[in-house]
């Protein structure tokens, strides 16, 4: 669960496993695969992220790998939809609470309705959303830099004030 970030799979806090070739090939993820968290706490079940990393990776058994039929739907479009408020509501409608975990079965996942606009429209939607994601990322970087500058200014001003008060004593 530490490998989801804003609808993307990231390579943080990785776990490693030795697998034979058969198991490796069964669980290997490819670019464009979407990993869906089917079992976890109520606030984490239903998380979805698209895989776009270089290298060899496999997924854990509590996840479901979705592979889009790219003649019908773009993986990025499906990922954006499943991460949208409407997509999440539709997913979570099938969540069944347990004693300590909530589950959405693979069978119920297949029941989730997904809009299927024409391919050209999907491409346009993905392009717009990718551009917004890029702008959001850049804005986050700007905010982080501004926060660092603000903290440094506060430290300098407070430090200068304390130094001035000490010199008057």
The pLDDT value given to residue 21: 93
Pick from 114, 136, 152: which residue ends a domain?
A: 114
Pick from 74, 89, 114: which residue ends a domain?
A: 114
Domain match, 123 and 107 both:
no
DSSP string for 101-157:
-EE--HHHHTT-------HHHHHHHHHHHHHHHHHHHHHHHHHHHHHHHHHHHHHHH
Domain match, 30 and 93 both:
yes
Which residue segment(s) compose the domain that 138 sits in?
A: 117-169
Q: From the first residue on, what is the mean pLDDT of each consecutive set of 10 residues in the chain (169 residues)?
A: 85 88 93 93 89 93 93 97 96 88 90 96 97 92 91 84 67
The pLDDT value given to residue 86: 96
Q: How far is CA 120 from the centre of its chain?
A: 25
The pLDDT value given to residue 169: 61
The pLDDT value given to residue 166: 65
Domain match, 17 and 83 both:
yes
What is d(CA 8, CA 50) in angstroms, rounded to the nearest whole number? 5
Whether the Cβ atoms of residue 33 and residue 82 lie closer than 8 Å to each other: no
The pLDDT value given to residue 14: 85
pTM of the model: 0.82
The pLDDT tens digits of the residues spanning 18-55 come to 999 999 999 999 999 999 999 888 888 889 999 999 99
Read off the tokens for 79.
């990922």
Number of folded domains that form the chain: 2
């Amino acid at each position: 669960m530490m490998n989801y970030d804003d609808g993307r799979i990231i390579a943080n806090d990785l776990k490693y496993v030795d697998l034979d070739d058969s198991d490796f090939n069964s669980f290997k993820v490819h670019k464009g695969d979407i990993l869906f968290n089917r079992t976890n706490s109520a606030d984490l079940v239903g998380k979805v992220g698209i895989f776009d990393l270089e290298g060899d990776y496999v997924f854990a058994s509590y996840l479901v790998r979705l592979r889009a039929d790219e003649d019908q739907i773009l993986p990025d479009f499906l990922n954006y939809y499943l991460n949208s408020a409407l997509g999440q509501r539709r997913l979570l409608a099938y969540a069944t609470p347990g004693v300590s975990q909530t589950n959405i079965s693979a069978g119920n996942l297949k029941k989730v309705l997904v809009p299927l606009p024409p391919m050209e429209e999907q491409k346009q939607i993905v392009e717009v959303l990718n551009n917004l994601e890029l702008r959001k990322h850049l804005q986050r970087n700007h905010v982080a830099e501004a926060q660092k500058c603000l903290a440094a200014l506060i430290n300098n001003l407070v430090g200068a004030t304390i130094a001035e008060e000490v010199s008057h004593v």
